[in-house]
Amino acid sequence: MRLLADMALFVEVANMRHFARAAAALGMPASTLSRRINMLEKDLGVALIHRSTRSFALTDAGVACYERARKLLAEAAQIRDDIAGSATGASGHIRVGVALDLAQTIFLPMFSDFLRENTGISIELLNIEGAPSLLAEALDLAFLVSHQTSLPDSSQWSRRIGTFSRQLYASKQYLKGRTVLQHPSGLAEHNCILFSAGNLQKRWEFRRGRERCTVDVKGSSSANSVGLLAQYAREHMGVAMLPEFLAVHPQFGGGLTRILPEWEGAPAHVFAVTPAQLLPGKTRRLVDYAKSQFGPRLARASLLK
44-74 confidence digits (pLDDT tens): 999 998 877 677 888 999 899 988 888 888 7
Say which CATH architecture domain 90-305 belongs to.
3-Layer(aba) Sandwich (3.40)
What value does the mean pLDDT take over residues 203-207?
93
Q: Which of 274, 265, 272 has the alpha carbon at shortest distance from 246?
A: 265
Whole-model pTM: value is: 0.69
Q: Report the alpha-carbon distance of residue 168 to residue 183 in Å, rounded.
A: 12
pLDDT at 87 over 50: no
Instruction: Outline which parts of the chain fall under CATH 1.10.10.10.
Output: 2-84
Q: Which of 198, 199, 179, 203 has the alpha carbon at shortest distance from 189?
A: 179
Evaluate whether 56 touches 17 at the Cβ level (below 8 Å).
yes
Residues 233-269: b if buried by 16+ CB within 10 A, e if exposed: bbeebbbbbbbbbbbbbeebbbebbebbeebbbbebb
Question: Percent of the chain beyond pLDDT 90?
Answer: 47
Dihedral class, residue 28 (left if φ above 0, else alpha if ψ from -120 to 50, else beta): beta
Q: Which of 121, 118, 125 has the alpha carbon at shortest distance from 81?
A: 121
Q: Which of 78, 62, 71, 4 has the alpha carbon at shortest distance from 36?
A: 4
HSE at residue 97, side-chain half, CA atoms within 13 A, is 21
Instruction: Outline which parts of the chain fall under CATH 3.40.190.290.
Output: 90-305
Judged by DSSP in three states, 45 sits in coil
Indicate the class that CATH gives domain 2-84.
mainly alpha
Judged by DSSP in three states, 1 sits in coil
Q: Report the alpha-carbon distance of residue 276 to residue 140 in Å, rounded.
A: 9
